Amino acid sequence: MEVNVYNRKGEDTGRKVTLNESIFGIEPNDHAIYLDVKQHMANKRQGTHKTKERNEINATGRKFIRQKGTGGARRGDLKSPIVVGGGRAFGPQPRDYGFKLNKKVKLLARKSALSYKALNNAIVVVEDFDFETPKTKEFVETIKNLKVSDKKLLMVFAEVNKNVYLSARNVKQANIQPVAGMNTYSVVDAGVLVVTESALSAIDNALI
């Protein structure tokens, strides 16, 4: 699949690049995408939820209600879960939600996500560029020229581009990532994928 290469001004350079069929042209595997996104979201969970159980409540152990004759259920001390202020039975405890996922499944998931973007013509290739200093105005002008300002976009560079990242930090629905930081969730979550020429080569090296 060939796509046109644009410059920062949104002008067609007259050059084309060929997307690697083994990355951008495979049959997408929805289940692999599901598993990788699920793992990504699970790893982001803090898992710090905590409630006090009966043995952690600071209260006397004396039995406040007599055993019989009350017309109600039997209950013990003030730490009982059926008493207001008592411990909680089977409450949440701190835990790690992360789980293992095979590297081949993660690789297939990323290729599948990229293939979906190619199928939907949601990939824009742009010449390598940089800003001399962080300028949000320049970044906004660039995405307007590329006609992607109205979409949730993921812009991928071969390496970390600090000036562009800082320029886009305050732009709503704009995500700047190096190839090393690109994951299945970020690709699926984006409406359009803007990739620099050097990033395409880096993607080939990373996913083949």
Looking at the structure, tell me whether residues 79 and 166 fall in a common domain.
no
**Residue 106: what pLDDT?**
96
Looking at the structure, tell me whether residues 123 and 152 fall in a common domain.
yes
Number of domains, the chain: 2
Alpha carbon distance 176, 174 (integer Å): 7
- Say whether pLDDT at 113 is over 90: yes
Share of the chain above pLDDT 90, in %: 87
Burial class (CB in 10 A: 0-12, 13-18, 19+), 89: exposed
Structure tokens at 61: 């152990």
pLDDT band at 19 (very low <50, low <70, confident <90, very high): very high
Alpha carbon distance 141, 111 (integer Å): 30
Looking at the structure, tell me whether residues 166 and 196 fall in a common domain.
yes
Looking at the structure, tell me whether residues 75 and 106 fall in a common domain.
no
Contact 190, 152 (CB under 8 A): yes
Looking at the structure, tell me whether residues 127 and 83 fall in a common domain.
no
**Residue 60: what pLDDT?**
86
User: Using alpha carbons only, what angle is made at residue 57 by residues 53 and 60, rounded to the nearest 5 degrees?
Assistant: 135
**Residue 202: what pLDDT?**
94
How many Cα atoms within 13 Å fall on the side-chain side of residue 118? 22
User: Using alpha carbons only, what angle is made at residue 96 by residues 58 and 57, rounded to the nearest 5 degrees?
Assistant: 5
**Residue 83: what pLDDT?**
87
Looking at the structure, tell me whether residues 185 and 126 fall in a common domain.
yes
Q: Identify the H or E element spanning 9.
A: none
Burial class (CB in 10 A: 0-12, 13-18, 19+), 107: middle
Looking at the structure, tell me whether residues 194 and 152 fall in a common domain.
yes
pLDDT band at 82 (very low <50, low <70, confident <90, very high): confident
Alpha carbon distance 114, 28 (integer Å): 9
Looking at the structure, tell me whether residues 64 and 41 fall in a common domain.
no
Looking at the structure, tell me whether residues 22 and 82 fall in a common domain.
no
Contact 136, 170 (CB under 8 A): yes
* CATH code of the domain containing 113: 3.40.1370.10
Looking at the structure, tell me whether residues 128 and 193 fall in a common domain.
yes
> Which residue would you say has higher pLDDT here, 190 or 1?
190
Looking at the structure, tell me whether residues 87 and 166 fall in a common domain.
no
- In order of 114, 117, 192, 199, the CA distances from 161 in angstroms are 22, 23, 19, 12
**Residue 63: what pLDDT?**
86
**Residue 75: what pLDDT?**
81
Expressed in percent and rounded to 5, the helix, strand and coil fractions of the chain are 35, 15, 50
Q: What is the pLDDT of residues 131-157, one digit of tens each?
A: 999 999 999 999 999 999 999 999 999
pLDDT band at 62 (very low <50, low <70, confident <90, very high): confident
Partners of 3 in the beta sheet? 17
Alpha carbon distance 194, 181 (integer Å): 15
Final residue belonging to a domain, choices 29, 59, 91: 91
pLDDT band at 64 (very low <50, low <70, confident <90, very high): confident
Alpha carbon distance 126, 48 (integer Å): 43
- Say whether pLDDT at 74 is over 90: no
Final residue belonging to a domain, choices 59, 91, 123: 91
Looking at the structure, tell me whether residues 200 and 125 fall in a common domain.
yes
Q: What is the pLDDT of residues 39-57, one digit of tens each?
A: 999 999 999 999 999 999 9
Question: Mean of the per-residue pLDDT values for the chain?
Answer: 94
| Domain, as residue range, for 203 | 2-46+98-207
